[in-house]
Amino acid sequence: MQIHYNFAFFDEGSKREIRRATLKAIAIPGYQVPFASREMPIARGWGTGGLQLTLSLIGKDDVLKVIDQGSDESVNAVNIKKLVMKTAGIKTTEETQEATIIQSRHRIPEIPLTEGQILVLQVPLPEPLRDYEPSEYNTKRLHAEKEYSGAWLMLFEQIMKYGHMASDFDHPVMVENRYVMAPSPIPRFDNPKMHYSKALILLGAGREKKIYAVPPYTKVVSLAFDDYPFEVESFEDKHCRLCGATGVYLDELFNEETGETYYQCNDTSYCLSRLNEQSESRGVQHG
Amino acid sequence: MKLDFIHDIQRAYRKVVDSMSRPGLITNLKDEAAKVDLEAGCFPSTLVLAAMLLDTEVTFKVVSEKEEETTRWINQLTYAKADAAERADFVFVLYDKAEDELGQILRRVKTGSLIDPHDSATIIVEADAVTDGCDFKLTGSGIEEANYVNVSVNGNWMEVRQQQNAEFPMGVDLIFVDKNHHLLCLPRTTQILSEGRKL
Ligand SMILES: [Zn+2]
């Protein structure tokens, strides 16, 4: 019997460790499962947690999409794709619908995910209670006792200070009425996409060596007060300058020459596919 | 062994991920099990799971009349060490188990602590048949409304499982495999309703 090592850039022992932690994470939604991480030969900040998850999951039949802050073409996204393609010979795509595994940093795609997909989110800071409790020993106890008054106090202080909840990204959520969880630095706009998601969502923090999960059809509620309800960013009267989309997460851009403010889809592949559709239907009309 | 420890194990793992994240979804390990050419006293799909999940970092326990034989094979295959049921990370309850052995073993295995709920046993159970059906109604995380399955394992294991999972997040996660390589997972989050009784 022969055991081969170092396929997909990642030895089989490391994969086993990640796989065991992943299955536990799925069984305990929102709980941060610690794992023994081996050093990855890439710089940190690249999202080693997400990459380790992806490499533990991916096989020859998979189609991988990598997005970094909404873009498939950022240096980070391209480098991760190159790495996975080179080492595993995997197909990649920019189309959300074609992907079986979507590794992302800072966004959940605009196109609703499906049952056949797994979303892997890269997490820099997995502990939602860290801001007021620096000790890991203590935060583990707070989670154990479901003692989340500190999380509520943080939100309360934001309201006192700013008149509203100020966490634009990584707004904490409650998973299955049990664990307060950091959804990773996605905009508040994306938080509701986690609730009852059709796709499995896995979150990986490489530096802190934690894996956690939101299984499909799982209750995810953004923390809020009755008199200060959770609200997503509103782009109500705004639309994408390129494709005209509304009701999506828009980047605000500023034209220095004209002094004009305009908006564009943050999810570039979504924008592009809309533009393609529009030019095709125009082509049909004219043809 | 024809089983490819990289690609076959990866494919099998994804089925376990699917079944664990969607309790009631029955997947099939027959392609991978067909490549296991080792007579170890257990189902070939059980060996696929052992090769997928075990190594020197974890311990296991085999519950079977052929405990010694199967323990030796799993140790040779994975280098994992056997340990008592109370401490083992993975517990294999084989097909030749006695009538009520699953229930008995479930009382003994570790369920983790409130601080470290992941430090709990995963139980791999060999069943006669695991099929879609209407004996058990499953609800909980991973299930849209309800899933329905039949699991042909006798005894009071469902009551014991319920007791062991009463204090979530502590609990045990079960993986069933059957003779036809079907795979079903019942993580601790899954509620089972059987013949009108909530278990
Ligand atoms: Zn657009």
Determine the distance separating the centroid of ligand 1 and the alpha carbon of A249, expressed in angstroms: 9
Domain termination site, one of A165, A192, A222 = A222
CATH for A27: 3.40.50.11310
- Among the partner residues B6, B143, B187, nearest to A4 by beta-carbon distance: B6
The verdict on A41 and A140 lying in the same domain is yes
Determine the distance separating the centroid of ligand 1 and the alpha carbon of A69, expressed in angstroms: 15
Residue B114 banded pLDDT, cuts 50, 70, 90: very high
CA distance A272 to A94: 10
Measured in degrees and rounded to the nearest 5, phi and psi for residue A91 equal -75, 145
pLDDT at B46 exceeding the cut of 70: yes
- The residues in B 53-82 lying below 8 A from A, measured between CB atoms, are 53-55, 57-58, 77
Catalytic residue status for A204: no
In whole angstroms, how large is the CA radius of gyration of chain A?
20
Q: Tell me how many domains chain A contains.
A: 2
Q: Find out whether the peptide bond into B169 is cis, omega within 30 degrees of 0.
A: yes
pLDDT for A196 equals 98
Which residues form the domain of A255? 234-287
pLDDT for A3 equals 39
Domain assignment present for A279? yes
Catalytic residue status for A30: yes
CA distance A133 to A135: 6
Instruction: Please compute the mean of the pLDDT values over residues B136-150 and round it to a whole number.
Output: 97
Higher pLDDT, A43 or B101: B101
Q: In chain A, count of helices (H) and strands (E)?
A: 7, 12
Instruction: Please compute the mean of the pLDDT values over residues A6-32 and round it to a whole number.
Output: 89
The verdict on A170 and A256 lying in the same domain is no
- Among the partner residues A12, A21, A58, nearest to B5 by beta-carbon distance: A12
Domain assignment present for A248? yes
Domain assignment present for A7? no
pLDDT for B32 equals 98
Domain assignment present for A281? yes
Report yes or no: B2 at the A interface, CB cutoff 8 Å.
Answer: no
Instruction: Please compute the mean of the pLDDT values over residues A132-148 and round it to a whole number.
Output: 96
Domain assignment present for A112? yes
| Complex ipTM tops 0.90 | yes
Catalytic residue status for A243: yes
Domain termination site, one of A222, A254, A275 = A222
The verdict on A90 and A175 lying in the same domain is yes
Residue A1 banded pLDDT, cuts 50, 70, 90: very low
The verdict on A202 and A247 lying in the same domain is no
The verdict on A101 and A213 lying in the same domain is yes
Instruction: Please compute the mean of the pLDDT values over residues A181-185 and round it to a whole number.
Output: 96
Domain termination site, one of A222, A245, A279 = A222
The verdict on A218 and A240 lying in the same domain is no
pLDDT for A84 equals 80
CA distance A68 to A47: 10
pLDDT at B145 exceeding the cut of 50: yes
CA distance B196 to B191: 13
**CA A1 to chain CA mean position, Å:** 39
pLDDT at A5 exceeding the cut of 80: no
The answer to which of A47-51, A194-198, B128-132, B151-155 has the lowest mean pLDDT is A47-51
pTM across the whole model: 0.95
Catalytic residue among A70, A240, A244, A247: A240
Catalytic residue status for A163: no
Q: Residue A46 gets which letter from DSSP?
A: S
Determine the distance separating the centroid of ligand 1 and the alpha carbon of A72, expressed in angstroms: 14
Instruction: Please compute the mean of the pLDDT values over residues B85-101 and round it to a whole number.
Output: 94
The verdict on A183 and A47 lying in the same domain is yes
- Among the partner residues B7, B113, B115, nearest to A59 by beta-carbon distance: B7
User: What pLDDT, in 10s, does the model give residues A44-62?
Assistant: 555 688 999 999 999 999 9
The verdict on A24 and A86 lying in the same domain is yes
- Among the partner residues A1, A26, A115, nearest to B187 by beta-carbon distance: A26
Residue A2 banded pLDDT, cuts 50, 70, 90: very low
User: What pLDDT, in 10s, does the model give residues A263-275?
Assistant: 999 999 999 999 9
Catalytic residue among A49, A70, A206, A265: A265
The verdict on A184 and A61 lying in the same domain is yes
CB-based contact B57 A215, cutoff 8 Å: no
pLDDT for B124 equals 98
Please state, for a pLDDT cut of 90, what percent of chain A lies above it.
66
User: What pLDDT, in 10s, does the model give residues A250-261?
Assistant: 999 998 899 999
The verdict on A27 and A153 lying in the same domain is yes
The verdict on A116 and A199 lying in the same domain is yes
pLDDT at A39 exceeding the cut of 80: no
Domain assignment present for A114? yes
CB-based contact B20 A26, cutoff 8 Å: yes
User: What pLDDT, in 10s, does the model give residues A74-110?
Assistant: 888 888 888 787 777 789 999 999 999 999 999 999 9
Catalytic residue status for A287: no
CA distance A270 to A248: 10
B58 chain-A contacts, CB cut-off 8 A: 20
SS3 sequence, B83-151? CCCCCCCEEEECCCCCCCHHHHHHHHCCECCCCCCCCECEEEEEECCEEEEEEEEEECCCCCCCEEEEE
User: What pLDDT, in 10s, does the model give residues A101-138?
Assistant: 999 999 999 999 999 999 999 999 999 999 889 999 99
CB-based contact A58 B10, cutoff 8 Å: yes
Domain assignment present for A155? yes
The verdict on A51 and A167 lying in the same domain is yes
**Coil, helix or strand at residue B76:** helix
CA distances from B15 to A33, A151, B105 (A): 21, 36, 26
Instruction: Please compute the mean of the pLDDT values over residues A25-45 and round it to a whole number.
Output: 81
CA distance A39 to A48: 9
pLDDT for A46 equals 59
Domain assignment present for A201? yes
User: What pLDDT, in 10s, does the model give residues A149-164?
Assistant: 999 998 888 888 887 7
Q: State the average pLDDT for chain A.
A: 89
Report yes or no: B39 at the A interface, CB cutoff 8 Å.
Answer: no
